[in-house]
């Protein structure tokens, strides 16, 4: 068995979940997404228990027995170490999104740079990222490790699967650990591509037509959770009015997407 592998899905025994959180920690650490003791990971073992990384340890050096089990209110049920200080943020997501079974929080440097600059990753630059993450907003700054951070995220949790945390980092979530991790990796990739286009001094956004086609395919696959990105109507420079219209359209699409999602859970 490859001890560094993470299988898709959530139907696993507790020992496998523990091993996979440690493997995801190594992935985060080796990619430079979580330096020193940064970052944290969690997953829902069942309706009432959460398995999470402990506070104060490098995510690249976790052992399965280091992990902590809590209930959905943060009360510790198992483990000799204390749970991650960001557990309130994780629990806020689990309480709001019953489809979410795993959460990944890290500080990947380019996406965190955008978070520190207060710039959302909301441009329709990459077709494949629209299919999964659409826009990645910035949540207002709140002190890490406090309930304030969960509150800052609250209005965004239902609409997005990846969120930049101002002056802090990134949180991503999904139906299993592999998806949550991939969304972290994709967020950093999108940030890098954004940065390169900004360095090149030129960005050609997808047109409305392109985005609508992508959204249609996303609806067909029922993989919907968040709103699409800023886009141009043509290759011309978009006017402020275009942007306003797009955002209104997006709100309608978003409401529709959420209805679909709620039907699924």
Cβ closest to Zn ion, residue 25 vs residue 228: 25
Coil, strand or helix at 166: coil
Which residue's Cβ lies closest to Zn ion?
Answer: 169
Q: Using CB under 5 A, which of 54, 169, 174, 228 touches Zn ion?
A: 169
> What distance lies between CA 141 and its chain's CA centroid?
17
169 versus 174: smaller Cβ distance to Zn ion: 169
Q: Which of residues 64-103 bind Zn ion (CB under 5 A)?
A: none
Q: Which window, 49-57, 163-171, 243-251, 257-265, contacts Zn ion (CB under 5 A)? A: 163-171
Choosing from 11, 16, 86, 256, the catalytic residue is 86
Q: How far is the CB of 169 from Zn ion (least distance, A)?
A: 4
Q: What one-character-per-residue DSSP string does 71-112 give?
A: ETT--EEE-SSPBPTTHHHHHHHHHH-TT--EEEEE--HHHH
Size of the site for Zn ion (CB under 5 A): 1
Q: Distance (Å, rounded) from C-alpha 89 to C-alpha 77?
A: 18
Q: Which residues pair with 36 in a beta bridge?
A: none
Of the two residues 36 and 252, which places its CB atom closer to Zn ion in the complex? 36
CA 261 – CA 45 distance, rounded (Å):
22
Measured from the CB atom, the residue of 28 and 225 that comes closer to Zn ion is 28
User: Is 14 a residue of the active site?
Assistant: no
Q: How far is CA 83 from the centre of its chain?
A: 20
Name the phi and psi angles at 124, rounded to 5. -80, 75
Question: What minimum distance in Å lies between the beta carbon of 203 and Zn ion?
Answer: 29
Q: Decide: 24 and 173 in contact? Cβ < 8 Å.
A: no
Please, what is the minimum distance in Å from the beta carbon of residue 162 to Zn ion? 14
Q: Interface residues with Zn ion (CB under 5 A)?
A: 169
**Residues with catalytic roles:** 86
């Amino acid at each position: 068995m490859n001890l560094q592998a993470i299988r898709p899905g959530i139907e696993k025994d507790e020992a496998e979940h523990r091993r996979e959180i440690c493997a995801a920690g190594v992935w985060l650490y080796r990619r430079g997404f979580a330096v020193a003791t940064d970052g944290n990971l969690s997953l829902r073992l069942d309706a009432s228990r959460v398995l999470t990384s402990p506070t104060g340890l490098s995510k690249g050096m976790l052992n399965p027995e280091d992990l902590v089990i809590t209930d959905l209110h943060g009360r510790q049920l198992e483990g000799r170490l204390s749970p991650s200080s960001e557990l309130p943020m994780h629990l806020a997501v689990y309480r709001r999104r019953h489809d979410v079974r795993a959460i990944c929080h890290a500080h990947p440097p380019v996406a965190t740079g955008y978070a520190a600059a207060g710039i959302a990753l909301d441009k329709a630059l990459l077709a494949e990222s629209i299919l999964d993450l659409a826009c990645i907003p910035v949540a207002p700054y709140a002190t890490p490790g406090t309930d304030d951070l969960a509150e800052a995220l609250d209005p965004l949790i239902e609409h997005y699967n990846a969120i930049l945390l101002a002056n802090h980092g990134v949180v991503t979530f999904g139906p299993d650990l592999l998806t949550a991790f991939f969304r972290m990796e994709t967020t950093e990739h999108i940030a890098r591509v954004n940065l390169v286009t900004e360095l090149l001094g030129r960005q050609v956004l997808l047109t409305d037509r392109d985005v609508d086609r992508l959204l249609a395919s996303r609806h067909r696959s029922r993989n919907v959770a968040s709103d699409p990105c800023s886009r141009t109507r043509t290759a011309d420079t978009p006017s402020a009015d275009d942007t306003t219209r797009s955002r209104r359209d997006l709100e309608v699409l978003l409401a529709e997407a959420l209805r679909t999602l709620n039907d699924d859970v």
